[in-house]
């Protein structure tokens, strides 16, 4: 059989693992079962693009994810390339077949109640580190700043008189982010404590106790540690707080283009993912609250 010859080729000439060979075999057998259900017989040579498309639709209808369907199509592409080389078929039926697009996962974010609990009830500790760590959490949430942008902030980038941050984002693109009075007070308090406790320091706004600029892992771990106190999300990173900023802004009727500029996105399409997040949240609220949902 052609299928057996293909699997032997994978096993002995390509040295694929037995587990991988079995997976290829199962994918071909699944197509064969589908074709037999339609035509009563399966001959790989007679398979055409229409049959492949119908099979794809049947898989999606059964609940297979786009990732799973694309993996199965990959197996079949290898099978038909083998048949073409052997001269068993003249045309590859998958040549013009495009697999289903993989859905991007929606961003993880914290609810407003969770952020309030984090900022108002969490013990960040006393002294310089406690004040600094709480401000870092607050700044991610209040400005949507990226981790690299926060670490890169210098004292000269913070304009307290105009309540503006000048941040350097991807591809060295600079933008201005406004901040409110509450964050301003916390930033000034941090600066006072920092200047009192850390006498010798770099030009960085956020520093360690030795005065040196913070590094990514330190900030990542302090955010993860504190988020773990209030949420059970799998992702507990600074980027989750950036997602939370964007989602909160849109939930409170901020204009999409304005959120795009604040986040420093080059394309509006990147920002639009957050509109899907807010819509999913609305659906959850509806299902919980409406008796006929």
- Of 111, 166, 213, 239, the catalytic one is 239
Q: Which of 134, 242, 243, 260 is catalytic?
A: 242
Is residue 77 annotated as a catalytic residue, yes or no?
A: no
Distance CA 2, CA 79 (A): 9
Active-site hit among 146, 236, 243, 260? 146
Q: Are 2 and 88 in contact (CB under 8 A)?
A: yes
Nearest of 102, 65, 64, 77 to residue 24 by alpha carbon: 77
Task: Find the catalytic residue in 24, 80, 141, 274.
Answer: 274
Q: Establish whether 170 is a catalytic residue.
A: yes
CA distance 271 to 259: 7
Q: Which of 170, 173, 184, 216 is catalytic?
A: 170
Q: CA distances (Å), 84 to each of 138, 161, 202, in order?
A: 60, 71, 65
* Active site annotation includes 134: no
SS3 146: coil
CB 138 within 8 A of CB 186: yes
CB 219 within 8 A of CB 140: no
Closest to 265 (Cα-Cα) out of 169, 133, 162, 150: 169
Is 239 among the catalytic positions? yes
- CB atoms under 10 Å from CB of 106, counted, come to 15
**72 catalytic residue (yes or no):** no
Distance CA(62)–CA(31), nearest Å, equals 14
Show which residues are catalytic.
146, 170, 239, 242, 265, 274
């Amino acid at each position: 059989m052609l299928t057996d010859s293909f699997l032997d080729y994978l096993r002995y000439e390509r040295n694929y693992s037995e587990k991988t060979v079995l997976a290829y075999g199962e994918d071909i057998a699944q197509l064969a079962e589908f074709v037999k259900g339609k035509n009563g017989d399966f001959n790989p040579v007679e398979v055409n693009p229409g049959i492949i498309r119908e099979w794809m639709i049947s898989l999606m209808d059964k609940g297979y994810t786009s990732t799973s369907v694309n993996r199965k199509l990959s197996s079949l592409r290898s099978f038909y390339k083998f048949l073409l080389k052997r001269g068993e078929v003249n045309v590859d039926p998958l040549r013009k077949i495009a697999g289903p697009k993989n859905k991007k996962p929606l961003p993880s974010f914290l609810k407003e109640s969770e952020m309030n609990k984090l900022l108002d009830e969490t013990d960040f500790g006393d002294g310089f580190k406690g004040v600094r760590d709480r401000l870092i959490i607050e700044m991610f949430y209040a400005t949507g700043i990226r981790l690299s942008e926060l670490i890169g902030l210098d004292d000269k980038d913070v304009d307290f008189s105009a309540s503006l941050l000048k941040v350097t984002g991807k591809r060295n693109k600079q933008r201005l982010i406004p901040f409110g009075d509450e964050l301003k007070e916390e930033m000034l308090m941090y600066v006072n404590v920092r200047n009192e406790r850390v006498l010798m320091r770099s030009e960085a706004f956020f520093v360690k106790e030795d005065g040196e600029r913070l590094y990514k892992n330190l900030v990542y771990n302090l955010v993860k540690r504190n988020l773990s106190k209030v949420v059970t999300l799998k992702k507990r990173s600074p980027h989750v707080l950036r997602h939370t900023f964007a989602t909160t802004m849109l939930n409170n009727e901020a204009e999409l283009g304005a959120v795009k500029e604040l986040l420093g996105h080059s394309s509006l399409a990147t920002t639009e993912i957050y509109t899907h997040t807010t819509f999913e949240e609305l659906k959850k609220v509806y299902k919980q609250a409406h008796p006929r949902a």
